[in-house]
Every structure is written in C-alpha cells, then in structure tokens.
Amino acid sequence: MVALLQVQNLSVGLPFSAPLLDAISFDIAESERVGLVGASGCGKSLTAGTLCGLLRTPLRVLAGSIRLDGTSLTDASPATWRAARGRSVFQIFQSPGTALTPVRRVGTQLAEAAQIAGRDTKAAVSQALDAVALQPDVTGLFPYQLSGGMKQRVLIAMALILRPRLLIADEPTTGLDVLTEHDILTALNTAADETGASVLFISHDLRAVRRIATRTLVMHAGRLVEDADIADLAISKAPAARALATAATALQNPC
Amino acid sequence: MLRFILIRLAVAVPTLLGMSVVAFAIVAIAPGDPVMMELRALGVVPKPEDIAALRAEYGLDQPFLLRYLDWLGRAVQLDLGTSIATGRSVVTEIAMRLPATLSLAVSALIGAVLVSVVFGVCALSRNRGVAACMRGLTILLVSIPSFWLALLFIYLFVLTIGWGRLVSDGTWSDLILPALTLGLGAGASLGRVVYERIRAELSEDHIRLAIAKGLAPRRILISHIAPRIVGPLATAWANTFGALLGGVVIVESIFGWPGLGQLILQAIAQRDFPVIQAYLVFMGLIFFTMSILADIVVFFTDPQLRRTLSDD
C-alpha cells in the first residue's frame, strides 16, 4: 500500500531541553484507520497538533520529517500549511464544547468548510448533517444550544464536507455517555467510509479504538513503543502496551 | 431589545441622581467663592453687606440640601441656571461649545480605534521586527503626555512646516492636530487591549479549529476573532471616550479649539458654580450614553446573552 502519511524520527519540544516527542516514526496508508493510544500526557495530542501544524508557541519541531500526500510539511511555509489543512489533513478536537466559534451559527461554520472544499454549500451541509444523524435545523442554532455529542457530530459533519485525505480524531468521545459515544464512533466510521479518508484515532480507551481501527500505535513518555494489531497488545514486549491491554480487560469484567 | 434598554435606563436613574449629588457637592465644598471672585475682578473692595446681598441673589446663603433640591428641580427642566461670570444661561453657554468638543472627542475616538486596530494587529505580526517596533511605539505613545505631544505637533506642523494654525475658528481642517494629539495616545493604549484580546482568542480551541479548516488568517481575524472581541472592545472604547472628554480640556486650550475646554477652565478660575456643575452633569450624561451604547454592542454580539435577556 502507498503511504499517505510518513513520519520519520519526529522530535518536538523546546530548544535545548529534553524533547516531548522523541524520534517517533510511523506510516499511515491510504484509507487505513490507525489507533494511537497511551496514558494521559504521553504525547498523543501533541502528535496530532504537530501533524496539523498547530503547535502552541514556543513548542517546535526539533528534528525529523512529516510527509503528507507527497508534500513535506516539516519546513513548510504558512501558505503550504494553509493549502494542506482542511483538504489534506483535518483534526477533530478533544473538547467539542469549545471547538466551535460561540458567536457564529452552526450553519455558517459548516458553510465555511464547504467553501474551502469548493463544494456546493447547501447540498454539502445537508448531506453531511444527514450522515451524522443531525436535523437540518441545527444550522440555525448557536453552539451553546447543542449538547456535547451534537457538537462533536457537527465536527464530524465538517470533516465530511472537507473530505480530507487524513482525518485525525483526538479523543472525540471523552466525557460523553456510552450511547452518545456509540453514535459518535458510528458517525466517524461513516465519515471515513464516505470520504475514503485515512484516520488516526487518538484515545486512551481501547474499547473505542477497537470500533475504529485494528492497527494500534502505543505511546509512552513521548516515544512510540509499539505498532501492532490491537488484539496483540496484551502480549506486547512494551510494558506500556501490556498495561493498557490489562486495564481494558479489567474494566470489561462484569460487575 | 427595547426591554433591555428600558431596564438599563431605569437602573440609570439612581446612578444619575448620585452623579448629580457628587457634581453639586464637589463644587459646593471646593474652596473659593464666586461672589468674592467677581467683586475682586471688578476691583471693588467688598463691604460685608454687598457680599451678603450678592450671595442672597445667587442663593448661596441657603443650606446645601435646599440649594441642591432647588438646583435639581430646575435641572430636570433643563434649566441649569445662569453663569455668574457672563450672566448668560448655562445651557446656552454649553450648547454653543458642546458640538465643537463632541466633534473633537468623536474624531479622536475614531482615530484611536483605527490606530488601536492597526497597532494591535501589527504587534501580532509573524515578522518579529514589525511586532517589536509596534510594541515599542505603543509604549512610547502611551508614555507621552498629551500636552507635550501637542507642543511637538505645534512646533512641527504649525511653526516649521506651516500646515496648521494656532488660533482655530472651528473649521474641520483645524480639527486634525488636536484630534491626532488626543487620539494617538488613546489609540496606542487601546492597541494593547486589542493585542491582548486577539492573543487570548488565538489560543482558544475554536480558533485552532478555524486554522485546521484551512482558513486564511485575515478571514479568521474578521469572521472568528472580531465578533468575539468587539463587545469587550466597545466597553473599552466607551471608557476611552470618557477619558478623551477629560483630556479635551487641555488640548482645546493649547490649540485654541472653541469647545468646552476654555469655558470650563475659565469657570474653574472664577468659581462659576452653575457652569462647573452643568459641565460635570453633561460629561456624566455623555459618559453614561456611551456606556449604554457599549452595552447594546455587547448585547448584539453575544448570542447567549441575547437569548437569556429575551427569555427573562
């Protein structure tokens, strides 16, 4: 398979101090769905931010390379990043509550995505909302009028409109109840099926990862310590991967 | 919306009353006496009975509370008394000069808003040189007192280049230098507010999403940041307008602009109580109107507040 995303020896952090992401390397093939798991603070969200060029100052890429769809993004100009964002790579954020601009209606924010993707606004917004099981009248509402799960579905609808080659979902089900979590994961799979996008699904919950991907990357303290099938994590040589698998199994035990 | 304004106006009644007490009291307890000033100005050596007669004529022999209630009763009918110095109605004196002062303060505010947006946005420039220059210029302009800037402008534009004149008759071209003098410092100071507001917004998730969508920086600034910061900025603009009205007094005197500045300086020197009181009340009213306008901007730019107030 052709690699859509190639990450080589990527290190991120502050100059002259220990890196927060330490020489991580992985590939994601076209239309492949990959899970990225690890304990809180291990560098998952930082990896997502780096792949979207959304590092918070003063963090920066210290070494290594990112190639997405044949384009090197490591030393890319702001214009190259702008062209890549939305169309080549898009990210759904961890906190749906704060991810939408509070003073703009949902419809306006979705229409903006349609304009970037060069699609017919009305049709694209309506199809996307239908795919994530949201009523068309949400377009007239402001974000504060939606529940957390609805906001997350709006973000997935945005991804459906943008049709990126790589969709990064950074813990999209955190803080949601199990029913809403089920709806979100279904919507995410629908989005990936419809757009053919590769997915990097970030979570600390192996149950959720299993719904989206089989191949799983495990991070620990800024390093990538495992790249294996989710079913094999329990027999991994990496203690962090085994610990995650053990914890997931323990949580699934009936009460 | 109408209900919101009506509630805001109803709440304003006690505020305005309090303001009128303060305006009246500040002047009443200030040292000095207009009667003595007037007699001295006329070169008269006052006899105690002359002083008593004049004090009785202006009602200054009455107790404070009675004087205040009498003044308030007439003030609500827009009768703010007669100037002790000129003998003309105070409302006429103020009405003659208020448009000039307001046009100067409004021009200075418009200039300040434009300067603040340019400074605030440029200070965020990716070009470190531009950003550092803008921050340096901001600190410089905030630190320079307006009277010094006025003297610098007079030296440069009036005495050296000859673009302006020192004695103004109120034409629009004479407005430029005093408006710049007032507006630059206020604009630089507001520029810090714009800069800090935009910086705070840039770290918000919804701005990161807008960037992740692939939107251009200008579009993000106009569509996603501006609607969020315009409410707080409107409040800062209203406060700045109040400060500009205060600063107008000095700048008008330096540039000879025929506004309220010269009137109030003269009134203070002569202890012309009715003029000073009326000036304070007018300034309070203008400040209050600006703060209502700022509240209306906040109301329109915050959908959640709009909904809450319409549900109440």
**DSSP letter string over A56-71?**
PTT-EEEEEEEEETTE
β-bridge mates for residue B271, sequence order:
none
B216: nearest CB among A82, A98, A158: A82
Closest by alpha carbon to B59, among B19, B90, B28?
A: B28
Question: CA–CA separation, B178 vs B203, rounded Å?
Answer: 38
Question: CA–CA separation, B257 vs B174, rounded Å?
Answer: 8
Going from N- to C-terminal start, the domains of chain B cover 98-257
Encode pLDDT of B153-181 as tens digits. 888 888 888 777 777 666 777 888 889 99
Inter-chain CB proximity B227 and A104 less than 8 Å: yes
A139, two tokens: 């377009």
Angle, CA of B26, B28 and B29, to the nearest 5°: 70
Residue B282 CB neighbours (<10 A): 20
Question: CA–CA separation, A180 vs A193, rounded Å?
Answer: 20
Q: Which CATH number fits domain A3-252: 1.10.4160.10, 3.40.50.10090, 1.20.1070.10, 3.40.50.300?
A: 3.40.50.300
Question: CA–CA separation, A53 vs B210, rounded Å?
Answer: 13
Closest by alpha carbon to B75, among B278, B297, B307?
A: B278
- Stretch among A86-90, B38-42, B172-176 having the lowest mean pLDDT: B38-42
pTM of the model: 0.82
| Interface size, chain A vs chain B, as Cβ–Cβ contacts under 8 Å | 73
- Single-letter residue type at A79: A
CA dihedral sign, ordered B202, B203, B206, B212: positive
Mean pLDDT of chain A: 91
Model confidence at A255: pLDDT above 60 = no
Closest by alpha carbon to A118, among A167, A69, A164, A162?
A: A162
B234 touches chain A (CB under 8 A): no
Mean pLDDT of chain B: 85
Answer left, alpha or beta for residue A163, where phi above 0 means left and psi between -120 and 50 means alpha.
left
Model confidence at B85: pLDDT above 80 = no
Inter-chain CB proximity A85 and B211 less than 8 Å: yes
Inter-chain CB proximity B215 and A116 less than 8 Å: yes
**Minimal C-alpha gap between A114 and chain B (Å):** 10
Helix (H) / strand (E) element for A215: namely: strand A215-220
For residue B304, the chain A residues in CB contact (below 8 A) are 102, 142, 144
CATH number for the region B98-257 comes to 1.10.3720.10
Where is pLDDT greater, at A177 or B233?
B233
Question: CA–CA separation, A56 vs A50, rounded Å?
Answer: 9
B227: nearest CB among A103, A113, A144: A103
Would the ipTM clear 0.85, i.e. be above it? yes
3-state DSSP assignment of residue B98: helix
Is residue B218 within 8 Å of residue B146, measured between CB atoms?
no
Task: Give mean pLDDT, residues A195-224.
Answer: 93
**Minimal C-alpha gap between A140 and chain B (Å):** 12
Backbone angles phi, psi at B170, to 5 degrees: 90, 10
Angle, CA of A128, A130 and A135, to the nearest 5°: 115
